[in-house]
Amino acid sequence: MINIQNLGFTYPGAATPVLSGLNFHIEQGEIYGLLGPSGSGKSTTQKILMGLLRGFTGSALVFDQPIENIDRSFYERIGVSFELPTLYLRLTARENLSLFAALYDKPTRDPMEILKLVDLADAAEQRVEDFSKGMKMRLNLCRSLLHDPELLFFDEPTTGQDPARARITHELILRLKREGKTIFLTTHNMAEADEICDRVGFLTNGNIPVSGIPADLKRQYGRPELEVVTTGQNGVHKVRFPMENLADNTEFLTTLRQSEILSLHTQEASLDDVFIKATARQDKAP
Ligand code: ADP
Ligand code: MG
């Protein structure tokens, strides 16, 4: 669906490049998450692939076509939800969607049906200026679905949303995947990426040093541990032991025999751990 090779980009007038040699691909039907701290170039990467930024180096194919060659029909096939909502504040939610729907050549979906998907049906007749930031983000997402596109770009789709609303957005994204859509999302929220992405790439220093399936990365970079919480004369203590060869770990066995155990928990590596290790490795590289 998307194939990027050696992608580089510098904003006009900037001293240093934002992207310097990115390589990644996105398969049809998958949810790909580009992760990285604020300012790492996630939105820039997406804007290049939407055909909004010119002057990049390397090769960027979307739908097997070089992005330089796209025409109007490209925008009938992609849906975009920008980081900052692009909506008419004086209009209601439904009026916004009807207006944007009119821009497409192909038939569009019923705005009310889409508003229901993100729990905004009750707010359909409210002016967007009265919406919270989270509501605007969800309406922004609706906008990208009007023309039923096959490839979706979601830039930080759960910004400003409480956990319950974020869950609604996650469910919507997973539902889109079940319908066969391809989703390219960006996030700085590692837990979110872990929950919904099939594959992720870590963007740091203009590059993607590590990418893969979240579960594989956690296994590869993380070291599962057992956290033991004990209590005794000196108060409560937490100790962590590697899961590997636990039965031969004398310190662990002594703890079990000699302390009163409050709890035992296995600790899986998180994507945060992977990110910290991956970026530390890159910093050490020449
Ligand atoms: P992210 O989405 O990961 O937070 P961005 O792609 O928005 O990162 O930005 C990457 C870098 O490019 C930042 O240092 C940002 O300040 C810079 N940048 C973003 N947009 C512009 C622009 N229009 N002109 C110049 N620099 C920009
Ligand atoms: Mg961004």
Ligand 1 centroid–CA 105 distance in Å is: 32
Ligand 1 contacts CB of residue 111 (under 6 A): no
Ligand 1 contacts CB of residue 14 (under 6 A): yes
pLDDT value, residue 286: 41
pLDDT value, residue 284: 46
Summarised one tens digit per residue, pLDDT across range 17-30 is: 999 999 999 999 99
List the chain pLDDT tens, one digit each, 286 residues: 999 999 999 999 999 999 999 999 999 999 999 998 889 999 999 999 999 999 999 999 999 999 999 988 999 999 999 988 889 999 999 999 999 999 998 899 999 999 999 889 999 999 999 999 888 999 999 999 999 999 999 999 998 788 888 898 999 999 999 999 999 999 988 889 999 999 999 999 999 988 999 999 988 887 788 999 998 887 899 999 988 899 999 999 999 888 899 999 887 778 888 888 877 755 544 4
Ligand 1 contacts CB of residue 40 (under 6 A): yes
Pocket probe mutation, ligand 1, options 18, 48, 279, max atoms within 8 Å of Cβ = 18
List the residue whose alpha carbon is closest to atom 23 of ligand 1: 11
Ligand 2 (ion): residues with CB under 5 Å are: 42-43, 83
Q: Mapped to the 3 state alphabet, what secondary structure does the chain carry?
A: CEEEEEEEECCCCCCCCCEEEEEEEECCCCEEEEECCCCCCHHHHHHHHCCCCCCCEEEEEECCEEHHHCCCCHHHHEEEECCCCCCCCCCEHHHHHHHHHCCCCCCCCCHHHHHHHCCCHHHCCCEHHHCCHHHHHHHHHHHHHCCCCCEEEEECCCCCCCHHHHHHHHHHHHHHHHCCCEEEEEECCHHHHHHHCCEEEEEECCEEEEEECHHHHHHHHCCCEEEEEEEECCEEEEEEEECCCHHHCHHHHHHHHHCEEEEEEEECCCHHHHHHHHHHHHHHCC
Ligand 1 contacts CB of residue 224 (under 6 A): no
Ligand 1 contacts CB of residue 18 (under 6 A): yes
List the residue whose alpha carbon is closest to atom 15 of ligand 1: 39
Domains of the chain and CATH, by start: 2-218 (3.40.50.300), 221-284 (no CATH)
Pocket probe mutation, ligand 1, options 10, 11, 49, 202, max atoms within 8 Å of Cβ = 11
pLDDT value, residue 233: 80
Ligand 2 centroid–CA 158 distance in Å is: 12
Ligand 1 contacts CB of residue 204 (under 6 A): no
Ligand 2 centroid–CA 197 distance in Å is: 18
Mean of pLDDT over the chain: 91
